[in-house]
Amino acid sequence: MNRIEQRLQQDKKILSIYFTAGFPSLQDTAPLLEALEDSGVDMVEIGLPFSDPLADGPTIQASSTQALRNGMTTTLLFEQLEGIRKKISIPLILMGYFNPVLQYGVEAFCKKCSEIGIDGVILPDLPLAEYTNHYKEIFDRYGLLNIFLITPQTTEARIREIDAASRGFIYMVSSAATTGGTQDFGETHSNYFKRIEQMNLKNPQIVGFGINSAKTFSVATTYSSGAIIGSAFISLLKERGIEAIPDFITSIKNI
């Protein structure tokens, strides 16, 4: 069973952290992963920096720009992740855009992920039909889960179609805004989370976009299996560095 599926079977709310590979410094990938696992994070999304990150807000866009200037590439990230499973046991997901995957070669990319120990990918601009018609067999061959996104505007029929084609979890985007755009969650968000919960989908949902505190983490996980923090974590790295990770994770989990 895939590590993502194993972790989701545990009776706890998942805290997943996103960071951009190559930020703040080019060689921070492994130290960040070790610090996050040691601090009690349940899952990590490693962002592949891209020059045109349409779904990302200004904080993650800036981190991608800096990472690219630092020299981060897909090939270099794979080199940095060689042997990472000797140190890291939690699920690891690569998140990015489909263009770098195509440039690398889809099968070569999936094969390398499998060799390194990557458990899944999130590619927001890869359409469901394109994936199922052309790439699903390749992903399945290498045991790689492809995680799809839904938003408050996604129709019920489309959500059920995504659910039927998915394994692992569904990434439930909290709003139509880009990442980092929500300061707090109100009744509209709670109603959305509750509506999706009541659909009784076969895949659990993890909420992303706008999680930045213990309060927003609590609201997001009331009706879901977990939540993802991205922009707030990137800001922490920029302002306080890796040393601040344990206190930050403790503050989110309120433990």
Hey, where are the domains in the chain?
A: 14-250
Instruction: Give the angle subtended at the CA of 174 by the CAs of 25 and 240, to the nearest 5°.
Output: 25
- Does the annotation mark 56 as catalytic? yes
Q: Given this model, what pLDDT does residue 54 score?
A: 62
H/E run at residue 235: helix 231-240
pLDDT of 177 reads: 53
Band the pLDDT of 124: cuts 50, 70, 90. Answer: very high
Mean of pLDDT over the chain = 92
Of 30-34, 83-87, 98-102, 182-186, the range with the lowest mean pLDDT is: 182-186
Residue at token pair 């349940």: 42
Q: How far is CA 237 from CA 25, 69, 113, 185, 229, in A?
A: 10, 17, 26, 24, 13
Residue 180 has a pLDDT of: 46
Would you say residue 140 has pLDDT above 60? yes
CA 248 to chain CA mean position, Å:
18
> Average pLDDT of 39-51?
94
The active-site residue, picked from 28, 42, 56, 119, is 56
State the alpha helices, DSSP H only, in 169-230.
187-197, 214-222
Question: Of 5, 38, 42, 45, which residue is the catalytic one?
Answer: 45
Tokens of 157: 């029929």
Q: Is it the case that residue 178 has pLDDT exceeding 50? A: no
Look at residues 78, 45, 34 and name the one whose alpha carbon lies nearest to residue 227: 45
Q: Are 148 and 171 in contact (CB under 8 A)?
A: yes
Q: Is the pLDDT of residue 179 over 90?
A: no
pTM, to two decimals: 0.93
Strands (E), the chain: 14-20, 43-47, 92-95, 120-122, 145-147, 149-150, 170-173, 205-208, 226-229
Told to judge if 243 belongs to the known catalytic residues of this protein, a careful annotator would answer: no
Residue 42 pLDDT: 97
Q: From CA 190, how far away is CA 69, in angstroms rounded?
A: 39
CB 140 within 8 A of CB 176: no
Calpha distance 50→53 (Å, rounded): 6
Cβ neighbourhood burial of 77 (10 Å; 0-12, 13-18, 19+): buried
Average pLDDT over residues 140-146: 97
Burial (0-12, 13-18, 19+ Cβ within 10 Å), 243: exposed
The string of pLDDT tens digits covering residues 182-217 is: 556 778 888 999 999 999 999 999 999 989 999 999
CATH code of the domain occupying 14-250: 3.20.20.70
Query: According to the model, what pLDDT value does residue 55 have?
Result: 61
